[in-house]
Structure formats: C-alpha cells, structure tokens
Amino acid sequence: MSPRGLRPLVVAVGAVLAVAGCAGTTGPAAAPPASTASSTPSPSASPSPSPSPVAPTSSLDPASVPEPTGVRIPALGVDQDLIGLGVAADGTADVPADFGDVAWFTPGGRPGARGPTVLMGHVDSTAGPAVFYELRDLTPGDTVELTVADGSVATYTVTGTEQVAKDTFPTAAVFGATSADVLRLITCTGAFDAGARSYTDNLVVSAVRSG
C-alpha cells in the first residue's frame, strides 16, 4: 500500500539477521522467519484497508480490557512477547533490561480502550542491533499486530514516524491520553553521546487501529 511497498520486504531479511545476532548475546529473541516472508494481511479482516485509516475511539478505562501480550511486525520480522513496564523511580520510562525484549507501558492505553498503547524496545546494545533496530524502516501502511490476553489480535496500521529530541521530548504528544485507539512504538535514534552512552533522540512510530 505504501509508495515504497517493496521496501519492507527487503528490510525483513536484514531484520531477521539482526535479531538473530542480538539473540546470540543477550538472550532469546526468537523471530520465526517463516511467517515474515510474505506481507500477509492481518488474520482478522480489516474493515478499513485504506492507508489512512481513522482509529476508532473509546473512553473505556484501559484496566477494563485485556492486556496486550505480544507484538508482531511482519515487515521487520519482529515477533515478540511483551513485558509490562511502568515509570521508574526517577520519573523516566522504565525500559527493558534485556535488549531483545519489547515492553508495553502498563499505566497507558490498551487495544480496545483509550490510547495510546505504547511499546518500547532498544535500537541496539553494546553487542549490536537490538529488537527495534529496524523500526525506522517502517513506512505508512505497514501493519503491527498486537496479541491480546483474550487471544484476539488487534491490527494497527502505521501512519507516520517522527524523530524527537529527548531534551525536548513531546511528552503530551507521545504519552498523553487519547480517545483514539492508537499505538506508538519507541526506540532511540539520532547522534550517540558516548559520554552518557545514550542517543540524543527518540524515534516514535505512530499507528492507528485498523482491524
């Protein structure tokens, strides 16, 4: 669907390699390659196949709906269970200790309730690329599937990517509550500050519920 429709397929091959390399040093980061070879649409029928779907809205308390338990990004070959994390003692976002893990922000939104559902994964470790290394290659129209605790699958369609400086991080725009059922995927990007061992920027991919 995207103007660069072929690109995700090319990327998928590299992503599988990257995740496998990461797995060798940081733990299990299994990415079943068989399911990533084709850009299969979501198993659940999508009511709005348009590249710019409008997310459904909800005022439901996220605590009243099941938790997301897994994420699959066919274009990147990512297929991971989710770990739940919240706010660290210093006020910043807790992030996975394992560079192969993807975290969802538990105090935030959930599929089927108010948004945003926020996923966070490392772009790399000192050993090499990590689980969200290829996140920047997602393009509008790519799909992200969240498995939910009740066994259902919520499909989201990527609408855009933004690079934001951590020093002026747009907290309200990224983590602020939304009535729309939206998903945000966050990793690091930008220049690397070797002294702080930290990137200067975050990459934020936005997606809206499409199935």
Partner 1 sequence: MSRTRTALLRTAVVTGAAGALAMTAVGPAAAETEVAEPTTFSSAFTAMATPDMVINNDGAATPGQPGASGTFTYRINSDTEVICYDISLTGVTPPYQSPAKTATHIHQGDAGQAGPPRIAFPNPEDDGTGRLVSSGCLQGPFTTGVVADGTDTGAGFTLDQIEADPSAFFTDTHTSAYAAGAVRGQLTAIPVGGVETGAGGAAATGSQDGSTGTVVGVVGGAALLAGAGAVALRRRALQQ
- Give the residues lining the site for partner 1 (CB under 8 A): 14, 17-18, 20-21, 24, 26, 57, 59, 86-88, 90-93, 95-99, 105, 107-108, 114, 120-130, 132-133, 136, 164-169, 171-172, 175-179, 186-194, 196-202
Within 13 Å of residue 188, how many CA atoms lie on the same side as its CB? Answer: 18
Secondary structure (DSSP) of 67-95: PEEEEEEGGGTEEEEEEEE-B-TTSSBP-
Rounded Cα–Cα distance for residues 3 and 51 (Å): 10
d(CA 76, CA 67): 23
Q: How far is the CB of 12 from partner 1 (least distance, A)?
A: 14
Q: Least CB distance from residue 158 to partner 1, whole Å?
A: 18
CB contact set of 100 (below 8 Å; sequence gap of 6+) = 19, 22, 23, 26, 27, 28, 29, 80, 130, 131
Q: Which residue has the tokens 């690397």?
A: 192
Least CB distance to partner 1 at residue 10 (A): 11
- Nearest to partner 1 of 1, 199 (CB atom): 199
For residue 198, the minimal CB distance to partner 1 (Å) is: 5
What does DSSP say about strands 128-129 and 124-125: parallel, antiparallel, or unpaired? antiparallel
CB of 155 to partner 1, least distance (A): 22
Residue 122 CA to residue 132 CA, distance in Å, equals 6
> CB–CB of 58/181 below 8 Å?
yes
Q: Which is nearer to partner 1, 1 or 95 (CB)?
A: 95
User: Residue 48 or 166: which CB sits closer to partner 1?
Assistant: 166
CB of 53 to partner 1, least distance (A): 19
